[in-house]
Structure 1
């Protein structure tokens, strides 16, 4: 039986927070706040608690899942009921915070209001009225500033305009984010495999680091690394294509291989 590794929880938390600093920057620039993110994390913690209980061969009770994940028992029960009824975790009836800016835009669109609203007007429906229908705690000006930052609305001479183009997905940018997510996910999986399964064959997970460099030296290393990557990636891609042709049609050809390289300097 596998045993639960206690480790140093505080130390590991601090290491994860170093990673979260960059991820939170991504979230905030995308309009995702703490409440939205913490609510979305509930299902992730639930799933990982289940995986850990399976790994250590312990019964998956509401208490054990709650203890491992830190989730409230009500949320755990809601997730269990959702899965038992054939629903997804995202369909579970768990407590979620209200995102005022997104609710404001959602109400604006759902009710078919004019795309331009006065920010404040005693004689007609205004942006202030719209915000107060969603929340009386958030100041309309603060909500407007957040929506302007996200390029969802614009204000000119007291008139707030809904930017329709903001709701059309940028295919290129979405794909770039998906590629980044897959690459970082694979990198983390390789590193965590090496940490948690030292008895197994480790994945390559290394980096070359140099400090106390001039801008000229950094630029030279930057250019050289691009040249080396171009040469190496060509060779590896050629081999990968050969193996794909060789494995085509085989019943056990279900694996995916990913090799990544990055460069960064500050």
Structure 2
């Protein structure tokens, strides 16, 4: 029987193949990726030492990660591009969430209303007075998620999935896959019992796959409304009733659908 390290390595390599394809398609070959991966192993080693209550010395980090000690001093590097992308996205995401869940901004069928500029500005300032509503509207427009017309500002997308802006889409890819992998990893290690399930069906025609995709998208839209409404309610409740020290947790709920030719090994 293969060892646990071999089993885990095989599973991770299997999961990584689509990401390797993505890297290659955008000009990132193995040497560049291998060099960048050192940082990931160093950060993971520090977190593992912290979890075990051990000192995070250069020697301990190097021994656990397998990365040479001379590279450990680079651990504190910040990805400024990533931070620059996250800031406007976070505010846009919060505005979208409230717009899609607060009854004030919904019609009788639960669909987001078109808002005049005063209404949109009120929506933004209800979340934060530190960001100009015009800047938020420009960001949503740039991402093709909202537009301003004669009838006011209206949403173009049912959820926060930018249709323009490659950095934003790449950042969301990283966040979604990271948290999915983190949930699966915690479950297999016995450290959590997170929701992490999937439905698989084989020997299907192309038409059947298309129909399943349609049904799955419909199910997601309903789940999105239910979970987002509760998430907004919990956020508002905690902002009023919990101290900043207590508000240190985050949660992510998602869904995915994928199909391929069964004659090829899906990857």
Both proteins in one fold, TM over 0.5: yes
1:179 and 2:175 correspond: no
8 Å contact 2:238–2:247 — kept in the other structure?
A: yes
* Equivalence for 2:257: 263
Alignment gaps of 5+ in structure 2: 80-162, 261-267
8 Å contact 1:43–1:90 — kept in the other structure?
A: no
Count of equivalent residues: 172
Q: Alpha carbons of 1:201 and 1:53: their partners in 2 closer, same or farther (altered >3 Å)?
A: closer
* Structural mapping, 1:102-121, within 5 Å: none
| Superimposed CA distance per residue, residues 210-254 of structure 1 (whole angstroms, 9 cap, x where no aligned partner) | 111112221221111111221222222222222222222331233
CA distance in 1, matches of 2:247, 2:253: 18
1:53 and 2:49 correspond: yes
User: How far is 1:43 from its partner?
Assistant: 1.9
Moved more, 11-20 or 65-74: 65-74
> Which of 67, 73, 76 in structure 1 is aligned with 2:69?
73
| Superimposed CA distance per residue, residues 120-174 of structure 1 (whole angstroms, 9 cap, x where no aligned partner) | xxxxxxxxxxxxxxxxxxxxxxxxxxxxxxxxxxxxxxxxxxxxxxxxxx96121
Alignment gaps of 5+ in structure 1: 1-6, 92-169
Task: Choose 1 or 2 for highest CA Rg.
Answer: 1
User: How far is 1:90 from its partner?
Assistant: 6.4
Q: Alpha carbons of 1:175 and 1:59: their partners in 2 closer, same or farther (altered >3 Å)?
A: closer
Larger RCO (CA within 8 A; separation ≥ 6): 2
CA distance in 1, matches of 2:17, 2:183: 21
Normalising by structure 1, report the TM-score. 0.58
* Equivalence for 1:206: 197
> Which of 181, 192, 204 in structure 2 is aligned with 1:188?
181
Normalising by structure 2, report the TM-score. 0.58
